[in-house]
Amino acid sequence: MQIKIQKDNKIGIITVNRPESLNAMNKDVIIEFISRVDELLLDEDIKVIIITGSGEKAFIAGADIKLMQKMSKKDAHEFAILGHKLTNVIENSDKPVIAAVNGFALGGGCEVALACHIRVASDNAIFAQPEVKIGLLPGWGGTQRLPRIVGKGLANELIITGRNITAQEAQQIGLVNKVVSKEELINSCLDIANLIIKNSPNAVSNSIKLINLSSGTELAEGLLKEAKTFSELFETEETTEGLTAFVEKRSPKY
């Protein structure tokens, strides 16, 4: 099994399990990855998803370069679209997805992390979009998501130099939310997940949708959508429970 799943206390952990190749991904791995994400999205008991890599050396060290060396233009296009399918299902998940980045997050691995809603890195993590070094460019969303997260200027620098950045620099530029020790990585992500689980799942999922919408929407249009979604929540049981619980000074039951 190249993609492992662990379910515990409303949290699903997806682990890319190819440590012998630094968790690099080929077509079969991506297809299995998508299937595993879909499985957790359909599981009503799961409220938060964490993605990580097996071992301490790598989160995901990108795509399989030996495989790419043999690709035709048609093969490459299909491979890019498959990568987009994976990163899109992560980004558009109505359940929060946290990247637990342990070690190398290079190329496609960095792009998978970019698609997650929250990124936590171990202090030995290394990020890069090094595709230009081998005559390519980021093909799984890096040219589109990285500028939205760190800004156009920094995205230009990172993509066209292809240089590595440390976890600490990644935090400084807003690429990751938090840096912790290797030993604390998963527990830190679980702590964040448990904070999220206490909240209204409906409110969380709608917040994610509106935040995603902000990237490609004029402010006025986004504000209209926000106001509409805000008002619609008042007709849901979760919002009624949340407001009532606050007034009654008790924890809500979602």
Q: What token pair was written down for 250?
A: 């008790």
Catalytic hit among 32, 44, 131, 235: 131
Q: What token pair was written down for 30?
A: 């991506």
Residue 202 CB coordination number (10 Å) = 17
Known catalytic residue at 111: yes
Q: How many CA atoms lie within 13 A of 31 on its CB side?
A: 5
Catalytic hit among 111, 169, 218, 237: 111
Rounded to whole angstroms, how far apart are CA atoms 56 and 181? 11
Beta bridge partners of 52: 15
Beta bridge partners of 179: 121
Known catalytic residue at 131: yes
| Helical pair 237-247 and 201-214, crossing angle rounded to 10 deg | 110
| Strands 11-16 and 3-8, bridge-based pairing | antiparallel
Per-residue HEC secondary structure of 1-40 comes to CCEEEEEECCEEEEEECCHHHCCCECHHHHHHHHHHHHHH
Rounded to whole angstroms, how far apart are CA atoms 59 and 74? 28
Catalytic residues: 111, 131
